[in-house]
Amino acid sequence: MKLFIKKPIKQLMAASAETEHSLKRTLGVTSLIALGIGAIIGAGIFVRTAAAAGHHAGPAVTISFLIAAAGCALAGLCYAEFASMIPIAGSAYTYSYATMGEFIAWIIGWDLVLEYALGAATVSIGWAQYFNEFLDTFFNVHIPFQWCHSPFEKAISTTGMYADQVGIHGIVNLPAIAIVFLLTLLLIKGTAESAVVNNIIVIVKVAIVLMIIGLGWQFINPANHTPYMIPADKPPVHTSTGIVDYSSMFNHGWLGVLRGASVVFFAFIGFDAVSTAAQEAKNPQRDMPKGILISLAFCTILYILFSHVLTGLAPYTDFLINGKEASVTYAIKTFMTGYGWLGKLVTVAILAGFSSVILVMLMGQTRVFYTMSNDGLIPKVFSELHPKFRTPYKSQWLFFGFVSIFAGFIPDSVVGDMVSIGTLFAFVLVCLGIMILRKTDPELERPFRTPAYMIVCPLGALICLCMIASEGWENWARLFGWLAIGFIIYFGYSVKHSHVRHGKVEKPNDPINPKYVE
């Protein structure tokens, strides 16, 4: 069985070169850095920072960000080498198919569902919480607890908008499903945000983070930073999803910080979007590593300062009960006297920012499956285009249903952890892939070479594996379960229908059925 049969690189390059719609190399290093910042800063910083601090790391979540950033930086160097070798627009799936073979490409493509589809679900859950804050702030109304939370959550806070609903269990998170539905409709119609709108959203998101850091610094209570790491004898906290036991191995001390790194890792997801723009970079060899690493460094500094201020404003245990997904707004309203307007501004701007992140993730997911379908690895339904809008509308509807199940019925903590472990696993494969290629294909042209690859690659894989190890057996079980489902599909369907395996080559950029074209 040809598990590692490769997709010819010449075929990929020809698919780009033979069309008038091929991407132009117009992006300089500044544009790539802006792209990276725009992709990185999203739901993670506003939702997962509080979750990591409250459950695992406490104020030392700042160190968690450093660990996560180190893993991303090392993996980013490997992404840059891949992208420079095969400067074609697409995901890790595309160039892993050409360099490591079909089986590894399948694993990465299947694994990307955890990054994109479940990433969209995680962000939509955060969107729902901030939407409720928006309704409460501006209209003094809110959606009943049972209709905006999963069945695995119950109201326990004796303060705030649900003080009169203590003990009530959630039924379904309707706002989360609603935003996924609306954005699915937009994607089916082919409505895309212009570059100007996207740039505005990026500027707004960065401005909000800077305002919270600058204005919130004066309200930091040093007592909230002492002790800096959660002690093992910290009393347990009752939350809407159960009891947080700080005596647990990964809920205090340095192991808690490591576990926090795997949680806040979600805040860095998206930096690989820079590597997918290799075909549009003027000088991939020079600019790709700069775009990846500078955007990572900039966002890491913002994240560390932001988490320092957030954990200084409120005790980290507050994020488990009163703040939850909307902890940033809670901290501003409760502890930054006179800055209620900032809380309102944050709520509105975060809703817009979250919407754009969900949109990108939903679009990215269907495009990955569109390419996999064109390669014959999954059914044709995922590459069937709308007769008018020329979008993969059936795939979009299928993923609406899939994402809605997780957004409506699973807590944010579970979905977010699945996103992190899935993406970390993909990063491990990318790091190992560079090492393998250096041995198996030493003569392959590499405009950018990962420096000290015998150190960078294994170290990047090791850091990512350490973060995966801290996820706990439940998340490991979910990952293996997901991969097992993928293997069943691959060996039961994909090996029988693979175009590359059976010598079927689609004519690229066919005007009637433009396969291999994003």
Contact (Cβ atoms closer than 8 angstroms) between residue 316 and residue 74 = no
pTM for the structure as a whole = 0.79
Whose tokens are 């066919």? That residue is 510
Answer yes or no: is 2 within a domain.
Answer: no
Range of the domain at 254: 9-497
Burial (CB < 10 A; 0-12, 13-18, 19+), residue 137, is middle
**DSSP for residue 155:** -
For residue 227, count other CB atoms closer than 10 A to its CB: 12
Q: What is the mean pLDDT of the chain?
A: 83
DSSP strand E in 222-352: where? 237-239, 242-244
Answer yes or no: is 101 within a domain.
Answer: yes
* pLDDT confidence of residue 321: 83
Sign of the CA dihedral running 122, 127, 133, 139: negative
Contact (Cβ atoms closer than 8 angstroms) between residue 401 and residue 407 = no
Domain count, the chain: 1
Answer yes or no: is 518 within a domain.
Answer: no
* pLDDT confidence of residue 516: 35
Answer yes or no: is 3 within a domain.
Answer: no
Helix 412-440 to helix 61-85 angle, to the nearest 10 degrees? 40
Report the distance separating Cα 96 and Cα 433, nearest Å: 8
Regions in the chain scoring below 70 on pLDDT = 1, 9-26, 39, 43, 87-91, 158-160, 190-199, 272-280, 325, 504-518
Answer yes or no: is 505 within a domain.
Answer: no
Backbone angles phi, psi at 239, to 5 degrees: -120, 180
Answer yes or no: is 72 within a domain.
Answer: yes
Answer yes or no: is 511 within a domain.
Answer: no
Report the distance separating Cα 264 and Cα 257, nearest Å: 10
What CATH number is associated with residue 73?
A: 1.20.1740.10
Closest by alpha carbon to 458, among 483, 427, 479? 427
Contact (Cβ atoms closer than 8 angstroms) between residue 168 and residue 145 = yes
Answer yes or no: is 506 within a domain.
Answer: no
Report the distance separating Cα 509 and Cα 229, nearest Å: 55
